[in-house]
């Protein structure tokens, strides 16, 4: 990752978006689906963040106090991490392919422990 960052956005995977302006429409029509299918070869982890409104939400007349974000796994992906912020709290959800990530509970515990470490480090 450090090597890719050092190369900058004009090199490596980041250059794909820059090339899009130079490809004719037919190239997009043919190449788009191929690139979508090949995406699983480029990455197998998804991390997404969806901030929710800071105002209190209600569902069926009841206040929403917790959220459980969910990001579905695409074909070929091993792990999806979804993060949502709601009313000053951060909520996260983990979804994994059981064969690729048989110890998801270990990751969940590690994330919880690290979040607690950050809270402690930041103080009141």
Q: What pLDDT is attached to residue 54?
A: 81
Distance CA 112, CA 92 (A): 10
Is residue 22 predicted with pLDDT exceeding 80? no
Q: What pLDDT is attached to residue 23?
A: 72
- DSSP H helices in 13-84: 15-19, 25-42
Confidence of residue 42 (pLDDT cuts 50, 70, 90): low
Q: How many CA atoms lie within 13 A of 32 on its CB side?
A: 8
Domain range list for the chain: 1-42, 44-124
Task: Tell me how crowded residue 81 is: count the other CB atoms within 10 A of its CB.
Answer: 18
Its sign, for the CA torsion 18, 41, 96, 4, is: negative
Its sign, for the CA torsion 57, 64, 123, 117, is: negative
pTM: 0.63
Q: Considering only residues 29 and 118, tell me which one the structure prediction assigns the higher pLDDT.
A: 118
pLDDT digits (tens, 9 = 90+) for 52-88: 888 899 999 999 988 889 998 887 889 999 999 888 8
């Amino acid at each position: 990752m450090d090597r890719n960052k050092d190369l900058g956005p004009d090199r490596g995977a980041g250059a794909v978006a820059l090339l899009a302006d130079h490809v004719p429409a037919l190239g997009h029509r043919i190449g788009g689906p191929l690139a979508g299918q090949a995406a699983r070869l480029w990455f197998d982890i998804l991390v997404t963040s969806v901030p929710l409104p800071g105002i209190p939400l209600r569902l069926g007349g009841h206040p929403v106090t917790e959220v459980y974000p969910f990001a579905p796994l695409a074909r070929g992906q091993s792990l999806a991490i979804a993060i949502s912020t709601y009313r000053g709290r951060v909520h996260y959800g983990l979804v994994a392919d059981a064969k690729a990530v048989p110890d998801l509970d270990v990751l969940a515990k590690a994330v919880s422990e690290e979040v607690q470490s950050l809270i402690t480090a930041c103080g009141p």
